[in-house]
Structure 1
Amino acid sequence: MITTASEQDAKELNVLINAAYRGEESKKGWTTEAEILGGLRIDEMTLKGMLAQGEGTIVKYTGSGEEILGTVYLEIKMPALYLGMFAVSPLSQSKGIGKALLSFAEDFALAHGCDRITLTVISIREELIDWYKRHGYVPTGHSIAFEDIEGRFGDPKVDAIELIEMQKSMAIS
């Protein structure tokens, strides 16, 4: 089930997001950044702030036992919807949770009158870029040098990485 996350979910979301991106746990899935970035992806205090501020919406995918298995951050930046912090538990990847969250985001964008969804992805994450392409996202040609956002998403372990922007146009009816 996909629902809106609350401040009470911050601790579980923090564990999930960091497990999906960093450390040994992340290596059990295909979305790991452990060889690219060190440090935390996010912390509980930052998540609580994001949930309290309400600038964006954090949604969660819960399993039958009510455990959070996936999450995504959605922020309306008209005319686009920004999609970020997309994470699925490493042990639950390749089970359709990511596709369900992406579909939810697309419905959310349309419901809010957005004409596209934008996201950023690390330039050397070819398998992830290919996954987004298979779902209709295309590179825009815009990018952000990683040193321009130093410390925001972790500490680079490799040189010359950047965040590339991708987008998908939405058919508004």
Structure 2
Amino acid sequence: MNADTRAAALTFRDATPADVDGLVALVESAYRGDASRAGWTTEADILDGQRTDPEGVLAVIEAADSRLLTVERDGRLVACCHLEHRGQHAYFGMFAVSPALQGAGLGKLIIAEAERQARETWGAREMHMTVITVREELIAWYERRGYRRTGRTSAFPYGDERFGVPLRDDLCFELLVKDLA
């Protein structure tokens, strides 16, 4: 299957409250627990506990200047990503692809569509995201998509189990930026 065939088979739409349970299950499956080990985006070796919860996903869906894109193939939820308008840039987060489909090129298509939508919908000149600094393989993947490391870091929310239970004490986020102009 070539990239055009994969893209044609995908449907992008904004999430609704009816999608919350499916989105939570998707995000959890991509990042937490043994099921996440089927893909390469797992955080199971650095974080335990939850990645998100229904209240957090619903808040993203209902927030102003925010879109939670769902990606479906043949009517089945296979990926999602969050876009938030923040002035001259858009923030990209909550990116999850079903572990069984990771490594097949879907991520590249989805991030390209998210960038296009941020540019066309909000006139965003840059896309920003934060990634846990110890996730070197993931950072390298984003760098291959044109994102650059800034060296600007922010603290991991230790003690707030809504974001997981850290299995190590050296976690922090680094800001990655891509020019969309």
TM over 0.5: yes
Residues 86 and 12 of structure 1: is their aligned pair in 2 closer, same or farther, counting only changes over 3 Å? same
**Structure 1 residues 106-145: aligned runs within 5 Å:** 106-111=115-120, 112-145=122-155
| Counterpart pick for 1:2 among 2, 9, 12 | 12
Q: Distance in 1 between matches of 2:156 and 2:28?
A: 19
* 1:95 and 2:104 are equivalent in the alignment: yes
**Structure 1 residues 8-47: aligned runs within 5 Å:** 8-47=18-57
Q: Which residue of 1 aligns with 2:62?
A: 52
Q: Which residue of 2 aligns with 1:162?
A: 172
Secondary structure in 1 matching 2:163 = coil
Residues 100 and 45 of structure 1: is their aligned pair in 2 closer, same or farther, counting only changes over 3 Å? same
Residues 148 and 115 of structure 1: is their aligned pair in 2 closer, same or farther, counting only changes over 3 Å? farther
Q: Normalization by structure 1: what TM-score?
A: 0.93
8 Å contact kept, 2:50–2:161: no
8 Å contact kept, 2:47–2:167: yes
* 1:104 and 2:88 are equivalent in the alignment: no
* Consecutive aligned runs of 4 or more in structure 1 exceeding 3 Å deviation: 147-152
Q: Which residue of 1 aligns with 2:73?
A: 63
Aligned-pair CA distance for 1:116: 0.3
Number of positions where the alignment pairs a residue of Structure 1 with one of Structure 2: 170
8 Å contact kept, 1:61–1:97: no
Q: Distance in 2 between matches of 1:25 and 1:163?
A: 24
Gaps of 5+ in 1: none
Aligned-pair CA distance for 1:101: 1.3
Q: Deviations over 1:5-50 (max 9, x none)?
A: 1111101001000010000110000000001011100011221222
Judge which range, 47-56 or 136-145, deviates more.
Answer: 47-56
Q: Distance in 2 between matches of 1:36 and 1:109?
A: 31
Q: Which residue of 2 aligns with 1:83?
A: 92
Judge which range, 124-133 or 55-64, deviates more.
Answer: 55-64
Aligned-pair CA distance for 1:109: 2.0
Q: Distance in 2 between matches of 1:54 and 1:9?
A: 18
| RMSD after superposition | 1.4
Judge which range, 142-151 or 36-45, deviates more.
Answer: 142-151
8 Å contact kept, 2:24–2:52: yes
Judge which range, 155-164 or 41-50, deviates more.
Answer: 41-50
Secondary structure in 2 matching 1:27 = helix
